[in-house]
Structure 1
Amino acid sequence: MKLEDVLSSRLRIRIIKVLIQVGELNVSEIARRINANYKSTSMHLKILEDEGVLQHKTYGRIRLYRLNQSSPRARAVQNLVEIWEHANKGER
């Protein structure tokens, strides 16, 4: 998948931003924080995980998602978001 495809979804960008801020969360909490339904959130999490941006740990029936720090793609996306957010704070 191309970069523009991965970042073409506002929900995927919101997911990434939430996980950068918090660290790791389960699907329900991510959905609540990005104001999306469970099914849609789960679909976008799978896309991000398939692209190596996210990884998950499973505890029983609970999946906790976080950025995949061993992935150059995840680190690049995190750097982009952090730089973008920092620049936006300076504009205000």
Structure 2
Amino acid sequence: MTLEEIFSSKGRVKVLKVVLRRGEANLSTIIRETGLNYISVIKHLNYLKHYDIIEEINLGRVRVYRPKWVNPRVRYIEEILRTLGEV
């Protein structure tokens, strides 16, 4: 996975920014703050989970998504977005 692949989708970047800015977010929060529909958000979350950018935590019936900080790429991505004033 390259930075181009991560940043190639505006929707994916929106989802990632919400998760990075909040530290963790549930599905409803991500949908509300990105303005994307359920299917799009799930697609982007699955992509980001597949590449270990975010992780899913089950808290009872609620799924919470948060950055996977053990992956050094996540810190680089956050630094890029923070430098650009996006997070």
User: Shared topology, TM-score over 0.5?
Assistant: yes
* Correspondence 1:9 to 2:9: yes
Name structure 2 gaps, 5 residues minimum.
none
Would you say how many aligned residue pairs link Structure 1 and Structure 2?
86
Match of residue 71 from structure 2: 71
Shift in Å, 1:28: 1.7
**TM-score of the superposed pair, with normalisation by structure 1:** 0.85
Identical-pair percentage: 33
Matches within 5 A, 1:39-78: 39-78=39-78
Instruction: Report the CA distance between 1:18 and its aligned residue.
Output: 1.3
- Structure 1 regions of 5+ residues with no counterpart? 87-92
Q: Can you list the C-alpha shifts for 1:27-85, whole angstroms capped at 9, x where unaligned? A: 12101100011111011011011111111110223210011111111111001100111
Q: Which amino acid aligns with 2:61?
A: R
DSSP 3-state at the match of 2:65: strand
TM-score, scaled to structure 2? 0.89
